[in-house]
A and B are shown apart, each in its own frame.
Chain A
Amino acid sequence: MHKNSPGSAEKAPRRRPGRIRRIALPYLLLLPALFLELLVHLVPMVIGIVMSFKELTQFYIRDWGTAPWSGFDNYKVSVDFDAPVGQDLLHSFFVTVVFTILSVSFCWLIGTAAAVYMQDNFRGRGILRALFLVPYALPVYAAVITWVFMFQHDNGLVNHVLHDQLHITSKPSFWLIGDNSFYALLIVHVWKGWPFAFLIVMAGLQNIPKELYEAAALDGAGMVQQLRRITLPSLRPVNQVLVLVLFLWTFNDFNTPYVLFGKAAPEAADLISVHIYQASFVTWNFGTGSAMSVLLLLFLLVVTGVYLALTSRGRRTADV
């Protein structure tokens, strides 16, 4: 670079292309990354959208260019809430919404509480912190399959404690089938998700200046007031991202219900991603499955957009 600039006075006419080149260079360097980004993210999305307009059943999957176009038929089937497919999708959607709200709330609450308590220095803090992160660090499959064993009706730990030892239930409950499966799923998911909230909030707390608390303490603010007036407002930008990420992850989660219940989830815990998987892979109708995925994508886009618009507006007014 520097070789070029000093002697450039006499070569004035050649300056321009050099500058263009210099301006173009960053973009050229970005090209491979951009290309990979397109390849990895956008192309599959576009293919998924194309698939949703095709009648992609077992008769065409081998060469799916030959699958006939079906227009909006797949979408019509998916949102026809009087017919079983649409009804099931709607049911699954509501289950997922309730599940997501509960799971994100608990994850955030437990994570934040733990992070706040871990703020003060005390003996064993490091060990506790490490311990708290274990569920997050474990491979999903290994962690969830352990829960499957614990939730078993006959030999599971949960029933052993609740029924055999504490006598809370009159007879052993089923956790992996039937209505309780919702709670089983929620418990496993919160267990797996809150350490992430803990980690992020803990990082956010490091950025709050100690002086603020000292000043507040001098002014006579108690623990609760400090939390309400200093900690939570300072965490606002962190929370904004954290809740969004938790929401998206939870709403889309596939691994937990799949490992917990297998291919056919119980109705009470029929999360939308497994439902779509079932609608496409298990029944071999990839067109309908794709249409449902596109609808899910649109829904998440709208929610994310509205959320970001609302929260950032709130922040701007707060800043003023």
Chain B
Amino acid sequence: MRSIRAAAVGAVTMSLALAATACGGGSSTDGGSNDSPKTLTYWASNQGASIAIDKKVLQPELDKFQKQTGIKVKLEVVPWSDLLNRILTATTSGQGPDVLNIGNTWSASLQATGALLPWDATNFGKIGGKDRFVDSALGSTGAEGKDPAAVPLYSMAYALYYNKEIFADAGIAKPPTTWAELVADGKKIQAKGKSALGAEGANVSENIHHTFVFAKQHGGEFFTAGGKADFTNDAVVAGVKQYVDLMAKDKVIPTGDAEYAQNQSVSDFAKGKQAMLLWQSAAANLKSQGMADDKYGIAPVPVQSGTPGTGAQVNSMVAGINLAVFKNTDNLDGSTKFVKFMTSDAEQKILNTAYSSIPPVKAAQEDASFNSASNSVLKDTLATSAAALPQVADESQFETAVGTAVKDLFADVAAGRAVTTASVKAKLEKAQQQMPAK
């Protein structure tokens, strides 16, 4: 009898306990608190050649921070394939890191969710003021007219990386400055049995970064001034077609690249199979794949004609990583201190050197170590001829929809189907219809 009662009581208690824990799982959805002032969780994006390398770069700096402030930072390096999903999940559940890296192009989209701490004048004051940062980097931190959703951490730009030896063999004296020159050089390189240019045809983000620049060079914008999707205007169609035509018509990109999505084109370049690569801040990546610095040169990305500049002379997106504070943090003061630490002149120099990126902090950027030949190309590009991707709330959807359309176009080329203005327009039309209706 007693055992029966005990069992019954146990069963009921257990059910109640389960009910209680299930209901108690929620957390405050309003601003942050300072409930746990001694620890921070930090989600870093994968900047180095591997996650292990990132940990090696970041851990000593986090130890330094702990020594200075007594705050222990738990580091998690999140691969790019997971980062946006993880952030979305954290946003939905309210359970996430305190501080996190975001791709700067996501700033406006994530800003719209309200999950990130807005950097108003007060918050900027805590990290030394907005003026410390370069303008082009600040242009990619959220929608215009709103307080930035994040603070610039690393800046990057696209450049043309070329294999010096292959260029010399093919009798090419200097890197191409226009697309016509690039195609002509490509033919000479192919005559020597090497492949000319690499691309990540199945990588949605890479496709966006390139077609954005090509559209710009044709005077086109993917969004109207009012923030509405406008993917089918003639300039955008011409821009997208020109990029795909590098494989379809000009044949400087091998059709095999249509299925590349895991940076195989970087490996092809590092192995000396391919003469040119359009990539952002690739130095550290190439080094880790065994390509010595003196094997390759670095030049600005080609334009249609003339020299890189603004407007139709744009030759790169403003690429980079921003540092954001999760609004639900339970260590708001600590998070702000950590952002201040990571954007301090000293840390900026160390981290951007390790990742071969450019510091978005003015004082750090002026350091002599960022004046090397390769860095000055990136620095000039960022200063004079890089444009920010559209800072609209639908940016993330735009990347997916248009990036997939370009992937499909490359797949068409690979399958031997013709790519025409009409077929490009049809794919972009479909992408536009997938955008949220408003």
Q: Is B52's beta carbon under 8 Å from chain A?
A: no
Identify the interface centre among A22, A58, A267: most chain B CB within 10 Å of its CB.
A58
Contact of A62 among B7, B115, B397 (CB under 8 A): B115
Q: Is B113's CB under 8 angstroms from A282's CB? A: no
Q: Is A283's beta carbon under 8 Å from chain B?
A: yes
Assembly CA distance A177 to B15 (angstroms): 51
Segment among B84-92, B296-304, B315-323 that sits at the interface with chain A: B84-92
Residues of B within 8 A of A267 (CB): 408
Q: Is A63's beta carbon under 8 Å from chain B?
A: yes
> Closest A-chain residue to B110, C-beta based?
A58
Chain A contacts with B in 258-287, Cβ cutoff 8 A: 262-264, 266-267, 278, 281-285
Q: Is A35's CB under 8 angstroms from B19's CB? A: yes
> Closest B-chain residue to A36, C-beta based?
B18
Assembly CA distance A21 to B396 (angstroms): 59
Contact of A284 among B22, B397, B407, B411 (CB under 8 A): B397
Identify the interface centre among A22, A85, A264: most chain B CB within 10 Å of its CB.
A264
> Closest B-chain residue to A266, C-beta based?
B411
Q: Is A98's beta carbon under 8 Å from chain B?
A: no
Q: Is A285's CB under 8 angstroms from B256's CB? A: no
Assembly CA distance A4 to B92 (angstroms): 54
Residues of B within 8 A of A29 (CB): 7-8, 11
Q: Is A3's beta carbon under 8 Å from chain B?
A: yes
Q: Is B404's CB under 8 angstroms from A28's CB? A: no
> Closest B-chain residue to A153, C-beta based?
B256
Q: Is B4's CB under 8 angstroms from A21's CB? A: yes
> Closest B-chain residue to A265, C-beta based?
B404
Q: Is B94's beta carbon under 8 Å from chain A?
A: yes
Chain B contacts with A in 370-413, Cβ cutoff 8 A: 393, 396-397, 400-401, 403-404, 407-408, 410-412
Contact of B400 among A58, A152, A179, A264 (CB under 8 A): A264
Q: Is A64's beta carbon under 8 Å from chain B?
A: yes
Query: How many B residues touch A, CB cutoff 8 Å?
Result: 48
Q: Is B170's beta carbon under 8 Å from chain A?
A: no
Assembly CA distance A235 to B94 (angstroms): 51
Q: Is B404's CB under 8 angstroms from A59's CB? A: no
Contact of A3 with B92 at beta-carbon distance under 8 Å, contacts A25-B8, A174-B415, A264-B400 already known: no
Q: Is A131's beta carbon under 8 Å from chain B?
A: no
Assembly CA distance A120 to B404 (angstroms): 52
Contact of B15 among A32, A152, A282, A284 (CB under 8 A): A32
> Closest B-chain residue to A179, C-beta based?
B415
Chain B contacts with A in 335-354, Cβ cutoff 8 A: none
Nearest CB on A from B46, distance (A): 16
Residues of A within 8 A of B11 (CB): 28-29, 31-32
Assembly CA distance A3 to B2 (angstroms): 10
> Closest B-chain residue to A4, C-beta based?
B1
Nearest CB on A from B396, distance (A): 6
Chain A contacts with B in 71-89, Cβ cutoff 8 A: 83-85
Contact of A1 among B4, B14, B18 (CB under 8 A): B4
Residues of A within 8 A of B12 (CB): 28, 31
Q: Is B24's beta carbon under 8 Å from chain A?
A: no
Q: Is B18's CB under 8 angstroms from A35's CB? A: yes
Q: Is B259's CB under 8 angstroms from A152's CB? A: yes
Nearest CB on A from B115, distance (A): 5
Q: Is B29's beta carbon under 8 Å from chain A?
A: yes
Contact of B112 among A36, A58, A63, A266 (CB under 8 A): A58
Q: Is B415's CB under 8 angstroms from A284's CB? A: no
Q: Is A252's beta carbon under 8 Å from chain B?
A: no
Nearest CB on A from B25, distance (A): 11
Nearest CB on A from B272, distance (A): 15
Residues of A within 8 A of B15 (CB): 31-32, 35
Residues of B within 8 A of A263 (CB): 204, 400
Contact of A39 with B1 at beta-carbon distance under 8 Å, contacts A58-B112, A83-B433 already known: no
Residues of B within 8 A of A62 (CB): 29, 91-92, 94, 113-115
Residues of B within 8 A of A264 (CB): 204, 400, 403-404, 407
Assembly CA distance A31 to B415 (angstroms): 58
Nearest CB on B from A4, distance (A): 6
Q: Is B434's CB under 8 angstroms from A262's CB? A: no
Chain A contacts with B in 134-188, Cβ cutoff 8 A: 152-154, 172, 174, 176-179
Residues of B within 8 A of A154 (CB): 256
Q: Is B41's beta carbon under 8 Å from chain A?
A: no
Q: Is A61's beta carbon under 8 Å from chain B?
A: yes
Q: Is A57's beta carbon under 8 Å from chain B?
A: yes
Contact of A262 with B261 at beta-carbon distance under 8 Å, contacts A59-B393, A62-B92 already known: yes
Q: Is B202's CB under 8 angstroms from A177's CB? A: yes
Residues of B within 8 A of A1 (CB): 4
Identify the interface centre among A1, A62, A63, A84: most chain B CB within 10 Å of its CB.
A62
Assembly CA distance A4 to B5 (angstroms): 13
Chain B contacts with A in 172-225, Cβ cutoff 8 A: 201-202, 204
Assembly CA distance A145 to B87 (angstroms): 25
Q: Is B109's CB under 8 angstroms from A284's CB? A: yes
Residues of B within 8 A of A57 (CB): 436
Assembly CA distance A21 to B15 (angstroms): 18
Residues of B within 8 A of A281 (CB): 85, 88
A-B contact pairs, 19 of them (CB 8 A): A22-B4, A25-B8, A35-B15, A39-B18, A61-B113, A62-B92, A85-B434, A153-B414, A174-B259, A174-B415, A177-B201, A178-B411, A178-B414, A179-B415, A263-B400, A264-B403, A266-B408, A283-B400, A284-B88
Beyond the given pairs A1-B4, A62-B115, A177-B258, 20 more chain A to chain B contacts, judged by CB atoms under 8 angstroms and listed by A's residue number, are A28-B7, A28-B11, A31-B12, A31-B14, A32-B11, A57-B436, A61-B113, A62-B92, A63-B29, A153-B258, A153-B414, A174-B411, A177-B411, A177-B414, A262-B261, A281-B85, A281-B88, A283-B400, A284-B109, A284-B397
